Structure 1
Amino acid sequence: MLHKTRGIVINYIRYRETSIIAKIYTEKFGIQSYIENGVRSSKGKNRIALFQPLTLVDMVLYHDDKKEIHRISEIKAAYPFKTLPYDVYKSSIAMFLDEVLNKTLKESNENAVLFDFLYHSFIFLDETEQHFENFHLIFLLKYAFFLGFLPRDSNEIMAQLHEANIIIPFDSGYKTLMNQLIAADYQTPLGMSRGARNHLLEVIILFYQLHIEDFGEVKSLQVLREVLS
Protein backbone atom coordinates (compact mmCIF):
# COMPACT_ATOMS: atom_id res chain seq x y z
CA MET A 1 0.00 0.00 0.00
CA LEU A 2 1.21 3.50 -0.81
CA HIS A 3 1.60 6.05 1.97
CA LYS A 4 2.56 9.73 2.04
CA THR A 5 4.85 10.88 4.83
CA ARG A 6 7.57 13.35 5.69
CA GLY A 7 10.98 12.06 6.57
CA ILE A 8 14.41 12.98 7.95
CA VAL A 9 17.30 11.12 6.32
CA ILE A 10 19.68 9.71 8.93
CA ASN A 11 22.25 7.98 6.71
CA TYR A 12 22.72 5.49 3.91
CA ILE A 13 25.02 2.63 3.02
CA ARG A 14 26.04 1.55 -0.45
CA TYR A 15 24.35 -1.55 -1.79
CA ARG A 16 25.67 -3.37 -4.82
CA GLU A 17 27.05 -1.25 -7.66
CA THR A 18 24.59 1.62 -7.94
CA SER A 19 22.06 1.28 -5.13
CA ILE A 20 21.81 2.33 -1.49
CA ILE A 21 19.91 1.37 1.62
CA ALA A 22 18.82 4.54 3.42
CA LYS A 23 17.80 4.86 7.05
CA ILE A 24 15.07 7.49 7.30
CA TYR A 25 13.10 8.67 10.32
CA THR A 26 9.54 9.01 9.04
CA GLU A 27 6.64 10.89 10.51
CA LYS A 28 4.27 7.99 9.95
CA PHE A 29 6.36 4.87 10.64
CA GLY A 30 9.29 5.98 12.78
CA ILE A 31 12.76 4.78 11.80
CA GLN A 32 12.75 2.61 8.67
CA SER A 33 15.13 1.35 6.00
CA TYR A 34 14.55 1.89 2.28
CA ILE A 35 16.33 0.45 -0.72
CA GLU A 36 16.83 2.84 -3.62
CA ASN A 37 18.04 1.26 -6.84
CA GLY A 38 20.27 3.06 -9.33
CA VAL A 39 20.60 6.24 -7.30
CA ARG A 40 24.41 6.19 -7.64
CA SER A 41 24.25 6.07 -11.45
CA SER A 42 23.55 8.86 -13.91
CA LYS A 43 20.42 7.01 -15.02
CA GLY A 44 18.87 6.89 -11.54
CA LYS A 45 15.42 8.37 -11.06
CA ASN A 46 16.42 10.20 -7.85
CA ARG A 47 19.56 12.12 -6.95
CA ILE A 48 21.94 10.94 -4.24
CA ALA A 49 21.76 14.45 -2.75
CA LEU A 50 18.27 13.62 -1.49
CA PHE A 51 19.77 10.97 0.80
CA GLN A 52 22.41 13.11 2.52
CA PRO A 53 22.15 13.07 6.34
CA LEU A 54 19.40 15.27 7.84
CA THR A 55 17.81 16.06 4.47
CA LEU A 56 14.13 16.80 5.04
CA VAL A 57 11.99 14.97 2.49
CA ASP A 58 8.44 14.34 1.36
CA MET A 59 7.89 10.74 0.33
CA VAL A 60 5.37 8.41 -1.21
CA LEU A 61 6.39 4.92 -0.18
CA TYR A 62 5.43 1.30 -0.03
CA HIS A 63 5.18 0.02 3.52
CA ASP A 64 4.67 -3.55 4.68
CA ASP A 65 4.84 -4.25 8.43
CA LYS A 66 6.15 -7.73 7.66
CA LYS A 67 9.24 -6.40 5.86
CA GLU A 68 12.41 -4.87 7.27
CA ILE A 69 13.35 -2.97 4.11
CA HIS A 70 10.83 -0.96 2.12
CA ARG A 71 10.73 0.88 -1.19
CA ILE A 72 10.18 4.51 -2.12
CA SER A 73 7.82 5.42 -4.95
CA GLU A 74 8.49 9.18 -4.91
CA ILE A 75 10.84 11.42 -2.93
CA LYS A 76 11.60 15.14 -3.04
CA ALA A 77 13.17 17.73 -0.77
CA ALA A 78 10.58 19.17 1.60
CA TYR A 79 12.82 22.01 2.74
CA PRO A 80 16.03 22.61 0.74
CA PHE A 81 18.67 23.76 3.20
CA LYS A 82 20.13 27.19 2.49
CA THR A 83 23.08 27.29 4.89
CA LEU A 84 23.38 23.98 6.76
CA PRO A 85 25.50 22.10 4.17
CA TYR A 86 27.68 25.13 3.40
CA ASP A 87 28.43 26.74 6.77
CA VAL A 88 31.31 24.80 8.36
CA TYR A 89 30.07 25.53 11.90
CA LYS A 90 26.50 24.47 11.20
CA SER A 91 27.51 21.42 9.17
CA SER A 92 29.81 20.24 11.99
CA ILE A 93 26.96 20.56 14.48
CA ALA A 94 24.65 18.73 12.07
CA MET A 95 27.16 15.89 11.54
CA PHE A 96 27.52 15.46 15.29
CA LEU A 97 23.76 15.45 15.93
CA ASP A 98 23.14 13.06 13.04
CA GLU A 99 25.55 10.58 14.64
CA VAL A 100 23.67 10.92 17.93
CA LEU A 101 20.36 10.28 16.14
CA ASN A 102 21.81 7.25 14.40
CA LYS A 103 22.71 5.82 17.82
CA THR A 104 19.42 6.62 19.53
CA LEU A 105 16.48 6.62 17.08
CA LYS A 106 15.08 3.12 17.47
CA GLU A 107 11.32 3.64 17.49
CA SER A 108 9.54 2.11 14.49
CA ASN A 109 6.19 3.66 15.34
CA GLU A 110 4.56 7.01 14.71
CA ASN A 111 5.65 9.75 17.11
CA ALA A 112 4.42 13.04 15.68
CA VAL A 113 5.69 15.16 18.58
CA LEU A 114 9.24 13.83 18.33
CA PHE A 115 9.21 14.12 14.55
CA ASP A 116 8.08 17.75 14.69
CA PHE A 117 10.76 18.54 17.28
CA LEU A 118 13.51 17.13 15.08
CA TYR A 119 12.13 18.54 11.83
CA HIS A 120 11.74 22.09 13.08
CA SER A 121 14.98 22.01 15.07
CA PHE A 122 16.99 21.50 11.88
CA ILE A 123 15.01 24.16 10.04
CA PHE A 124 15.82 26.55 12.88
CA LEU A 125 19.53 25.71 12.67
CA ASP A 126 19.47 26.31 8.92
CA GLU A 127 17.65 29.64 9.18
CA THR A 128 19.28 31.19 12.24
CA GLU A 129 22.10 33.66 11.63
CA GLN A 130 23.50 34.07 15.13
CA HIS A 131 23.62 32.57 18.63
CA PHE A 132 23.71 28.97 17.42
CA GLU A 133 27.01 28.04 19.08
CA ASN A 134 25.07 26.35 21.90
CA PHE A 135 22.46 24.74 19.64
CA HIS A 136 23.81 21.20 20.01
CA LEU A 137 23.84 21.43 23.81
CA ILE A 138 20.26 22.66 24.01
CA PHE A 139 19.19 20.10 21.39
CA LEU A 140 20.67 17.19 23.36
CA LEU A 141 18.92 18.27 26.56
CA LYS A 142 15.57 18.72 24.81
CA TYR A 143 15.99 15.43 22.96
CA ALA A 144 16.65 13.67 26.27
CA PHE A 145 12.99 14.36 27.16
CA PHE A 146 11.85 12.17 24.24
CA LEU A 147 14.33 9.48 25.21
CA GLY A 148 12.94 9.43 28.74
CA PHE A 149 15.72 10.90 30.85
CA LEU A 150 15.45 14.71 30.77
CA PRO A 151 17.17 15.97 33.95
CA ARG A 152 15.36 18.43 36.19
CA ASP A 153 18.57 20.32 36.89
CA SER A 154 22.35 20.01 37.06
CA ASN A 155 22.21 18.42 40.51
CA GLU A 156 20.26 15.47 39.10
CA ILE A 157 22.84 14.98 36.35
CA MET A 158 25.75 14.98 38.77
CA ALA A 159 23.97 12.77 41.30
CA GLN A 160 23.35 10.11 38.65
CA LEU A 161 26.93 10.31 37.35
CA HIS A 162 28.35 10.02 40.87
CA GLU A 163 26.08 7.07 41.60
CA ALA A 164 27.61 5.38 38.54
CA ASN A 165 31.11 6.24 39.84
CA ILE A 166 31.68 8.75 37.04
CA ILE A 167 33.64 11.64 38.49
CA ILE A 168 34.11 14.83 36.49
CA PRO A 169 34.86 18.40 37.64
CA PHE A 170 31.66 20.40 37.97
CA ASP A 171 31.83 23.56 40.07
CA SER A 172 29.08 26.09 40.80
CA GLY A 173 29.80 27.97 37.56
CA TYR A 174 29.19 24.86 35.49
CA LYS A 175 26.05 24.12 37.49
CA THR A 176 24.66 27.57 36.72
CA LEU A 177 25.39 27.23 33.01
CA MET A 178 23.88 23.75 32.84
CA ASN A 179 20.70 24.94 34.55
CA GLN A 180 20.49 27.79 32.04
CA LEU A 181 20.87 25.32 29.16
CA ILE A 182 18.14 23.06 30.53
CA ALA A 183 15.74 26.03 30.68
CA ALA A 184 16.84 27.61 27.39
CA ASP A 185 15.21 27.78 23.98
CA TYR A 186 17.25 27.79 20.81
CA GLN A 187 16.89 31.58 20.61
CA THR A 188 18.30 32.12 24.11
CA PRO A 189 21.78 33.71 23.93
CA LEU A 190 23.99 32.20 26.62
CA GLY A 191 27.46 33.59 27.10
CA MET A 192 30.10 30.99 27.90
CA SER A 193 33.69 30.25 26.97
CA ARG A 194 34.65 27.57 24.45
CA GLY A 195 36.22 25.61 27.27
CA ALA A 196 33.01 25.69 29.30
CA ARG A 197 30.95 24.70 26.27
CA ASN A 198 33.19 21.70 25.57
CA HIS A 199 33.13 20.65 29.21
CA LEU A 200 29.34 20.84 29.44
CA LEU A 201 29.07 18.83 26.24
CA GLU A 202 31.32 16.16 27.75
CA VAL A 203 29.05 15.98 30.80
CA ILE A 204 25.92 15.66 28.63
CA ILE A 205 27.50 12.89 26.57
CA LEU A 206 28.42 11.02 29.74
CA PHE A 207 24.79 11.41 30.82
CA TYR A 208 23.66 9.92 27.49
CA GLN A 209 26.12 7.05 27.83
CA LEU A 210 24.73 6.36 31.28
CA HIS A 211 21.16 6.06 30.01
CA ILE A 212 21.57 4.55 26.53
CA GLU A 213 23.06 1.10 26.20
CA ASP A 214 25.80 0.86 23.57
CA PHE A 215 25.82 4.62 23.02
CA GLY A 216 29.60 4.43 22.93
CA GLU A 217 32.00 6.96 21.47
CA VAL A 218 30.76 9.80 19.26
CA LYS A 219 33.33 9.84 16.46
CA SER A 220 32.34 13.27 15.10
CA LEU A 221 32.85 14.92 18.50
CA GLN A 222 36.52 15.69 17.86
CA VAL A 223 35.70 17.40 14.57
CA LEU A 224 33.01 19.47 16.29
CA ARG A 225 35.43 20.55 19.01
CA GLU A 226 38.07 21.55 16.51
CA VAL A 227 35.69 23.57 14.35
CA LEU A 228 34.07 25.35 17.30
CA SER A 229 37.37 25.99 19.10
Structure 2
Amino acid sequence: MQVTTKGIVLSSIKYGDTSLISRIYTDSDGLKSYLLKGILTAKKGKLKAAYFQPLMQLEINANHKNKGTLESIRDVKVEYHYQSLHTEMTKNSVVLFLAEMLGNSIHEEESNKELFQFLQASLQWLDNHDKIANFHLFFLLSLTKYLGFYPDTENFSASCFDLVDGVFVDYPSGSAFITDENLVLFKQLLGTNFDTIHSIIMKKTNRQELLKSIVLYYEMHLQGFRKPKSLAVLNEVFS
Protein backbone atom coordinates (compact mmCIF):
# COMPACT_ATOMS: atom_id res chain seq x y z
CA MET A 1 0.00 0.00 0.00
CA GLN A 2 1.37 3.40 -0.97
CA VAL A 3 1.25 5.91 1.89
CA THR A 4 2.19 9.57 2.22
CA THR A 5 2.79 10.49 5.84
CA LYS A 6 4.79 12.65 8.18
CA GLY A 7 7.47 10.89 10.18
CA ILE A 8 10.10 11.49 12.86
CA VAL A 9 13.37 9.59 12.58
CA LEU A 10 14.29 7.68 15.75
CA SER A 11 17.43 5.93 14.54
CA SER A 12 19.39 4.92 11.46
CA ILE A 13 21.98 2.15 11.36
CA LYS A 14 24.32 1.10 8.59
CA TYR A 15 23.30 -2.03 6.67
CA GLY A 16 26.07 -3.49 4.56
CA ASP A 17 28.43 -1.00 2.95
CA THR A 18 25.93 1.18 1.14
CA SER A 19 22.55 1.05 2.86
CA LEU A 20 20.73 2.16 6.01
CA ILE A 21 17.92 0.76 8.08
CA SER A 22 15.95 3.67 9.52
CA ARG A 23 13.33 3.42 12.26
CA ILE A 24 10.76 6.18 11.82
CA TYR A 25 7.75 7.03 13.96
CA THR A 26 5.04 7.85 11.45
CA ASP A 27 1.82 9.78 11.84
CA SER A 28 -0.12 7.21 9.81
CA ASP A 29 1.16 3.86 11.11
CA GLY A 30 3.25 4.35 14.24
CA LEU A 31 6.73 2.83 14.27
CA LYS A 32 8.07 1.60 10.93
CA SER A 33 11.47 0.32 9.81
CA TYR A 34 12.69 1.12 6.31
CA LEU A 35 15.50 -0.30 4.22
CA LEU A 36 17.22 2.51 2.32
CA LYS A 37 19.19 0.66 -0.34
CA GLY A 38 22.37 2.27 -1.65
CA ILE A 39 21.70 5.58 0.08
CA LEU A 40 25.27 5.95 1.40
CA THR A 41 26.85 5.91 -2.06
CA ALA A 42 24.11 7.44 -4.19
CA LYS A 43 25.22 10.77 -5.68
CA LYS A 44 21.85 11.44 -7.25
CA GLY A 45 18.30 10.59 -6.31
CA LYS A 46 15.58 11.72 -3.98
CA LEU A 47 16.85 9.92 -0.86
CA LYS A 48 19.79 11.48 0.95
CA ALA A 49 21.44 10.10 4.11
CA ALA A 50 21.34 13.56 5.72
CA TYR A 51 17.53 13.34 5.84
CA PHE A 52 17.72 10.42 8.25
CA GLN A 53 19.53 12.03 11.18
CA PRO A 54 17.98 11.52 14.65
CA LEU A 55 14.62 13.28 15.15
CA MET A 56 14.45 14.75 11.65
CA GLN A 57 10.87 15.62 10.71
CA LEU A 58 10.08 14.30 7.27
CA GLU A 59 7.28 13.79 4.82
CA ILE A 60 7.68 10.41 3.21
CA ASN A 61 6.03 8.56 0.38
CA ALA A 62 6.40 4.90 1.25
CA ASN A 63 5.29 1.41 0.36
CA HIS A 64 3.84 -0.29 3.45
CA LYS A 65 3.33 -4.04 3.18
CA ASN A 66 2.41 -4.18 6.88
CA LYS A 67 3.78 -7.71 7.25
CA GLY A 68 6.35 -6.98 9.94
CA THR A 69 9.16 -6.76 7.39
CA LEU A 70 11.32 -3.82 6.31
CA GLU A 71 9.35 -1.26 4.30
CA SER A 72 10.61 0.93 1.44
CA ILE A 73 10.53 4.67 0.79
CA ARG A 74 9.82 6.02 -2.68
CA ASP A 75 10.32 9.71 -1.99
CA VAL A 76 11.09 11.97 0.97
CA LYS A 77 11.34 15.64 1.81
CA VAL A 78 12.08 17.58 4.97
CA GLU A 79 8.77 18.53 6.56
CA TYR A 80 10.29 20.95 9.11
CA HIS A 81 13.72 22.52 8.65
CA TYR A 82 15.57 22.73 11.97
CA GLN A 83 17.67 25.83 12.55
CA SER A 84 19.78 24.71 15.51
CA LEU A 85 18.93 21.17 16.63
CA HIS A 86 21.77 19.43 14.81
CA THR A 87 24.30 22.28 14.81
CA GLU A 88 24.43 23.44 18.45
CA MET A 89 26.39 21.01 20.63
CA THR A 90 24.06 21.14 23.64
CA LYS A 91 20.90 20.68 21.60
CA ASN A 92 22.48 17.92 19.54
CA SER A 93 23.34 16.05 22.75
CA VAL A 94 19.71 16.39 23.87
CA VAL A 95 18.55 15.14 20.47
CA LEU A 96 20.75 12.04 20.60
CA PHE A 97 19.59 11.23 24.13
CA LEU A 98 15.88 11.76 23.41
CA ALA A 99 16.08 9.78 20.16
CA GLU A 100 17.53 6.86 22.12
CA MET A 101 14.88 7.19 24.83
CA LEU A 102 12.10 7.27 22.23
CA GLY A 103 13.59 4.33 20.35
CA ASN A 104 13.59 2.32 23.59
CA SER A 105 10.06 3.40 24.55
CA ILE A 106 7.92 3.35 21.39
CA HIS A 107 7.20 0.00 19.75
CA GLU A 108 3.59 0.20 18.53
CA GLU A 109 2.91 -0.10 14.81
CA GLU A 110 -0.32 1.87 14.97
CA SER A 111 -1.24 5.51 14.63
CA ASN A 112 -1.25 7.69 17.75
CA LYS A 113 -1.86 11.20 16.46
CA GLU A 114 -1.72 12.83 19.90
CA LEU A 115 1.73 11.36 20.56
CA PHE A 116 2.95 12.32 17.11
CA GLN A 117 1.75 15.90 17.50
CA PHE A 118 3.38 16.13 20.93
CA LEU A 119 6.74 14.99 19.52
CA GLN A 120 6.43 17.31 16.54
CA ALA A 121 5.59 20.40 18.60
CA SER A 122 8.12 19.67 21.37
CA LEU A 123 11.05 19.29 18.97
CA GLN A 124 10.11 22.48 17.14
CA TRP A 125 9.98 24.28 20.50
CA LEU A 126 13.46 22.99 21.35
CA ASP A 127 14.75 24.18 17.99
CA ASN A 128 13.45 27.71 18.59
CA HIS A 129 14.49 28.31 22.21
CA ASP A 130 17.78 28.71 24.05
CA LYS A 131 16.95 28.17 27.73
CA ILE A 132 16.75 24.39 27.52
CA ALA A 133 18.57 22.99 30.59
CA ASN A 134 15.33 21.47 31.95
CA PHE A 135 13.79 20.56 28.59
CA HIS A 136 14.67 16.86 28.61
CA LEU A 137 13.27 16.38 32.14
CA PHE A 138 9.93 17.99 31.32
CA PHE A 139 9.78 16.27 27.92
CA LEU A 140 10.24 12.81 29.44
CA LEU A 141 7.65 13.43 32.15
CA SER A 142 5.17 14.72 29.57
CA LEU A 143 5.86 11.76 27.30
CA THR A 144 4.62 9.36 29.99
CA LYS A 145 1.09 10.73 29.42
CA TYR A 146 1.12 9.15 25.96
CA LEU A 147 2.87 5.96 27.08
CA GLY A 148 0.39 5.26 29.86
CA PHE A 149 2.25 5.83 33.12
CA TYR A 150 2.03 9.54 33.91
CA PRO A 151 2.45 10.16 37.67
CA ASP A 152 -0.78 9.96 39.66
CA THR A 153 -1.09 13.38 41.32
CA GLU A 154 -4.08 12.60 43.55
CA ASN A 155 -1.97 12.76 46.73
CA PHE A 156 0.26 15.55 45.43
CA SER A 157 1.08 16.99 48.87
CA ALA A 158 2.66 13.74 50.13
CA SER A 159 6.33 13.67 51.08
CA CYS A 160 7.58 11.07 48.55
CA PHE A 161 7.02 9.96 44.98
CA ASP A 162 7.06 6.17 44.71
CA LEU A 163 8.64 5.23 41.38
CA VAL A 164 7.34 1.66 41.51
CA ASP A 165 3.66 2.55 41.82
CA GLY A 166 3.85 6.00 40.19
CA VAL A 167 2.06 7.72 43.08
CA PHE A 168 2.76 10.31 45.76
CA VAL A 169 2.88 8.74 49.22
CA ASP A 170 4.14 9.55 52.70
CA TYR A 171 5.68 6.11 53.16
CA PRO A 172 7.12 4.45 50.01
CA SER A 173 6.71 0.71 49.65
CA GLY A 174 10.13 0.08 48.13
CA SER A 175 13.59 1.58 47.76
CA ALA A 176 12.94 3.57 44.56
CA PHE A 177 11.48 6.97 45.34
CA ILE A 178 12.01 10.73 45.06
CA THR A 179 12.03 12.86 48.17
CA ASP A 180 13.35 16.05 49.80
CA GLU A 181 14.78 18.74 47.49
CA ASN A 182 14.42 16.59 44.39
CA LEU A 183 10.74 16.04 45.17
CA VAL A 184 10.12 19.79 45.27
CA LEU A 185 11.71 20.15 41.82
CA PHE A 186 9.84 17.10 40.53
CA LYS A 187 6.53 18.65 41.58
CA GLN A 188 7.49 21.93 39.92
CA LEU A 189 8.18 20.08 36.66
CA LEU A 190 4.75 18.45 36.81
CA GLY A 191 3.13 21.85 37.26
CA THR A 192 4.86 23.75 34.47
CA ASN A 193 4.94 23.92 30.66
CA PHE A 194 7.61 24.31 28.00
CA ASP A 195 7.51 28.11 28.10
CA THR A 196 8.17 28.28 31.85
CA ILE A 197 10.60 25.39 32.44
CA HIS A 198 13.53 27.83 32.50
CA SER A 199 12.10 29.39 35.69
CA ILE A 200 12.75 26.18 37.65
CA ILE A 201 16.17 26.71 39.17
CA MET A 202 18.10 23.58 40.02
CA LYS A 203 21.70 22.63 40.69
CA LYS A 204 23.50 20.26 38.32
CA THR A 205 23.44 17.51 40.96
CA ASN A 206 19.66 17.78 41.30
CA ARG A 207 19.23 17.73 37.53
CA GLN A 208 21.38 14.61 37.23
CA GLU A 209 19.61 12.86 40.12
CA LEU A 210 16.17 13.70 38.74
CA LEU A 211 17.12 12.46 35.29
CA LYS A 212 18.45 9.23 36.81
CA SER A 213 15.13 8.79 38.66
CA ILE A 214 13.05 9.48 35.55
CA VAL A 215 15.04 7.00 33.48
CA LEU A 216 14.58 4.45 36.29
CA TYR A 217 10.83 5.23 36.21
CA TYR A 218 10.82 4.31 32.52
CA GLU A 219 12.74 1.09 33.25
CA MET A 220 10.16 0.09 35.83
CA HIS A 221 7.11 0.79 33.69
CA LEU A 222 8.16 -0.23 30.17
CA GLN A 223 8.86 -3.88 29.49
CA GLY A 224 12.18 -4.42 27.76
CA PHE A 225 13.31 -0.81 28.21
CA ARG A 226 17.09 -0.35 28.03
CA LYS A 227 18.93 2.47 29.76
CA PRO A 228 20.25 4.84 27.05
CA LYS A 229 24.00 4.80 26.41
CA SER A 230 23.94 8.56 25.79
CA LEU A 231 22.81 9.33 29.36
CA ALA A 232 26.36 9.91 30.61
CA VAL A 233 27.10 12.26 27.72
CA LEU A 234 24.01 14.34 28.43
CA ASN A 235 24.88 14.64 32.12
CA GLU A 236 28.34 15.84 31.14
CA VAL A 237 26.91 18.49 28.80
CA PHE A 238 24.68 19.95 31.55
CA SER A 239 27.36 19.82 34.24
TM-score w.r.t. the length of structure 2 is 0.89
The answer for the alignment partner of 1:17 in structure 2 is 17
The answer for the alignment partner of 1:148 in structure 2 is 148
Alignment partner of 1:160 is 2:165: yes
The answer for the alignment partner of 1:63 in structure 2 is 64
The answer for the alignment partner of 2:207 in structure 1 is 197
How do 1:32-181 residues align onto structure 2 when only pairs under 5 Å count? 32-45=32-45, 46-130=47-131, 132-153=132-153, 155-158=160-163, 160=165, 162-163=172-173, 165-167=174-176, 170-171=179-180, 173-181=181-189
Give the letter aligned to residue 100 of structure 1.
M
Q: 2:117, 2:85 → 1: CA distance? A: 18
**Distance change (3 Å), C-alpha of 1:150 and 1:167:** closer
The answer for the alignment partner of 1:187 in structure 2 is 195
Q: 1:35, 1:20 → 2: CA distance? A: 6
**Distance change (3 Å), C-alpha of 1:218 and 1:135:** same
Farther-moved stretch of structure 1 (64-73 vs 19-28): 64-73
The percent identity for this pair of structures is: 34
Q: 1:220, 1:97 → 2: CA distance? A: 9
1:215 pairs, out of 225, 235, 239, with 225
Q: 2:182, 2:76 → 1: CA distance? A: 45
Q: 2:78, 2:52 → 1: CA distance? A: 10
**Cα deviation, residue 6, structure 1:** 0.2
Farther-moved stretch of structure 1 (61-70 vs 147-156): 147-156
**Cα deviation, residue 195, structure 1:** 1.2
Instruction: Tell me the secondary structure at the aligned position of residue 162 of structure 2.
Output: helix
Aligned residues: CA RMSD: 1.7
The answer for the alignment partner of 2:169 in structure 1 is none
**Consecutive unaligned residues in structure 1, runs of 5 or more:** none
Farther-moved stretch of structure 1 (89-98 vs 148-157): 148-157
**Distance change (3 Å), C-alpha of 1:122 and 1:227:** same
**Cα deviation, residue 168, structure 1:** 5.7
Q: 1:22, 1:159 → 2: CA distance? A: 33
Give the letter aligned to residue 27 of structure 1.
D
Task: Compare the two structures and name the one with the higher helix fraction.
Answer: 1
Give the letter aligned to residue 228 of structure 1.
F
Q: Contact 1:20–1:37 (CA<8 Å) still a contact in 2?
A: yes
Q: Deviations over 1:132-156 (max 9, x none)?
A: 1100000011001111110034744
Count of residues in Structure 1 that have an aligned counterpart in Structure 2: 226
Give the letter aligned to residue 65 of structure 2.
D
Q: Contact 1:157–1:207 (CA<8 Å) still a contact in 2?
A: no
**Cα deviation, residue 216, structure 1:** 2.9
Q: Contact 2:84–2:127 (CA<8 Å) still a contact in 1?
A: yes
